[in-house]
Amino acid sequence: MSHAADLPLPPDLVRRYNTWAAGRDWLAALPRLASECLARWQLDLDLPPGALPWNGHGAIVVPVRGDGHGGKGAAVLKIAYPHDEARVERHALALWGGNGAARLLAADAVAGALLLERLDAGRSLQDIPLDAAASIWGALVRRLSLVPDSRPEWHEFGHIAARAEQWSDELPETWEQLARPFPRWLLEAALEVCQTRGAVGRRSGRDVLVHTDLHYLNVLARPETAAPSGADPAGTAAAGVEEFAAIDPQPMTGEAEFAVAPLLWNRMAELSRADPQKALLERCRDFSEAAGLDPETARQWALAREVDNALWYAARGHHEGDLARSLWVASALAGRTLPDLPAPHELPAPGMPAR
């Protein structure tokens, strides 16, 4: 078995976690944690020479192979920086059981490690035209929207209505502390959503398991159905829900419409330049209806989520790109786009530098 003593670390992950002591400690521990998981689950690294593991914002994802142990074959070993969302991911994946999401093969809660079905990281909804992506996304949401039952995993998730109630208290205080970084009317629009949806969500009886970060890059193709070389590279000819699975769920329970928001703050360069605000609302409607959701409820949740994001970015000095993007989306959803912001096609994708 490989021991991963020389496991290469992706440079952007190192840059992100090398700025404070706990992050540096986690980076230093990754080779040991990976080696321990490889030994425990009888796996070998499956990295080509010179290749780097994949990574997200808060985890490293290493391709592995374990043909001799439980028939796991090709898989990935995901080790996440310890945080609340990472701690509950395994519970959501266990509930889904591979139906609409990556299959969970094994988990080590202490190490923050998951052994997962290997998906095709090179083929996601990011590369599929939006009309086809809406159909696939909507079908996945229908599968992922499990109704709570007696299984113990359900006790691990936070409730979306409770998050709204928390925002009702925290958003005004943060807005004041940050010297009012955007107009009061936009804050009040978000607070109205929090108060309305929070109360409705508490009594609606519509709770389901919600993948709260279901953007285009978090929906990947299953390798056995990936488009063959030279045939329809976008995968639209035979694209269907059976081909795709969700990753990185950030799970909560509550109204499924909460899941629509990340689709609106990604792929903004594709909005119509003639009337981007109308195009944004149409996208919200199209994806909501594809999933059997209410577009107005989805619009409201997306507005509140983007105001919360805007304050998060403002607190961390993201004035050039991320803050402007969140303010444009939030104000467009509120029906009153803020002036003096870049056009949406000029705004960066999340985590990318300003243009």
Residues with active-site annotation: 213
What does the alpha-carbon distance between residue 269 and residue 253 come to, in Å, rounded to a whole number? 31
Alpha carbon 162 to its chain centroid, in Å, reads 20
Query: Do the beta carbons of residue 53 and residue 63 sit within 8 Å?
Result: yes
> Kind of pairing, strands 219-221 and 44-45?
unpaired
What does the alpha-carbon distance between residue 232 and residue 297 come to, in Å, rounded to a whole number? 35
What does the alpha-carbon distance between residue 17 and residue 14 come to, in Å, rounded to a whole number? 5
Backbone angles phi, psi at 120, to 5 degrees: -90, 100
Which residue in this structure is represented by tokens 């809660």?
109
Structure tokens at 153: 């995993």
SS3 at position 286? helix
